[in-house]
Structure 1
C-alpha cells in the first residue's frame, strides 16, 4: 500500500513538473513569437510571410495569412508603415495540459508612417493560445482583450 501511495505521489509530482515546464516554455515562446508577428517594416513584410507563417498553427494560421495578404501588406506598403512591438508583461492564464497554454500579454507598439514620421506609441492587451506541435510552441490564437 505504501508503495502504491509513493508511486501516486511521484506520478503527480512528475505531472506537475511537466505542466510547469510547459507553462514556462509557452510563455517564453509567446513573448518572442507575438512580437515577431506584430512587428513589421513596409520594406520587408511581403518577403517575411513564410517566416511569420512558421510561427502559427491551426485556423489562426489561415486567418493571419489572409489578413496579412489582404489588409496589412497593402496598407503597410501604401503608407510606408513600420511597427515595432515589445512585451511589457506576460503571464500564464491557464493551461489545457502540457500541449496548450493560455497567455495574457501586455504589449507596447510604436508605429511610424510616411504621413506620421514621429513614432506613435500605443498599448495592447492580448490573450494568446500557444500549442505545442512537433516540439515547438506555436501561436494558435491571438485575441485582443
Structure 2
C-alpha cells in the first residue's frame, strides 16, 4: 500500500484555489449599462413628437390670446362708435335749435356739450351771436335726418350727419328749411362724449 505525503505548502495552495473558485466573479460592465443614462435611439421620435406638441400648444395659446385681444379691441371701438354717434346726433340738434327768448339756456347747453377747439371758438363768439339772435328774434329747430360714423377709436369718433334746420326771424317770419351736411368730431372727456370740432364740408 502506497502512502502519499502531502506537504503543508501544497495544502495551502489548494485551499487558496478553492476559495478563489467559490468567490463571486464581478461581471464586466456592458455597453448597454454604460449608455443607460442616455436616451435610446428608439426614444428620440417620441421626444421630438412631445416637443412639437408643446410648441403647437404654446403657439395656439398665443394666437388665441392675440385674436381675443383683437376681438376685445373691436368691441370697444364698436361700443365707442355707437355711443359717440348717439351723442353727436343729440348735440347737433341742440346746436341747431335756438330760441331768442331762451338764448342763455341754449348757449349753456351748447357749451356743456363742447370741448377743446370748438368750445373755445363758441365761447369767444357767443356774446356777439347772442345779440344777433335777440335783435332779429331768430328761432331755429334742427333735426338730424341721417348719420354715419366716418372713423373711430376708443376715445375719438368722427360722425357725418345730414341736418334739416327750420329757421325763422323778424325779417322772414315764414319758416324755411336749410339743409346742411355736418362733420362732427367727438372726443371722450371724463367718460362723456363731447364735440371738439364742427365742420360744414
Name the SS for the 1:44 alignment partner: helix
Structure 1 segments unaligned to the other structure (5+ residues) = none
Higher relative contact order (CA 8 A, sep 6+): 1
- Which residue is equivalent to 1:58? 116
Give the Cα–Cα distance (whole angstroms) in 2 for the partners of residues 47 and 37 of structure 1: 12
Q: Structure 1 residue 68: deviation in Å? A: 2.2
The reply to whether residue 132 of structure 1 matches residue 193 of structure 2 is: no
The superposition leaves residues 31-56 of structure 1 with CA deviations (integer Å, 9 ceiling, x where unpaired) of: 00111012100001124332221100
Aligned length: 143
The answer (yes or no) to whether the contact 2:94–2:109 under 8 Å persists in 1 is no
- The structure in which a higher percent of residues are strand is 1
Deviation at 1:67?
A: 2.1
Give the structure 1 partner of residue 42 of structure 2.
none
Q: Alignment partner for residue 87 of structure 1, among 121, 127, 144?
A: 144
Q: TM-score, normalised by structure 2?
A: 0.69
Q: Which of these residues, 157, 168, 173, is aligned with residue 101 of structure 1?
A: 157
Superposed counterparts of 1:18-33, under 5 Å: 18-33=76-91
Deviation at 1:114? Answer: 1.7
State the 1:116 CA deviation.
1.4
Root-mean-square deviation (CA, aligned residues, Å) is 1.0
Per the TM alignment, residue 69 of structure 1 is displaced from its structure 2 partner at its CA by 1.7
CA contact (8 A) 2:94 2:106 kept: no
TM-score w.r.t. the length of structure 1 is 0.94
Structure with bigger helix share is 2
Larger radius of gyration: 2
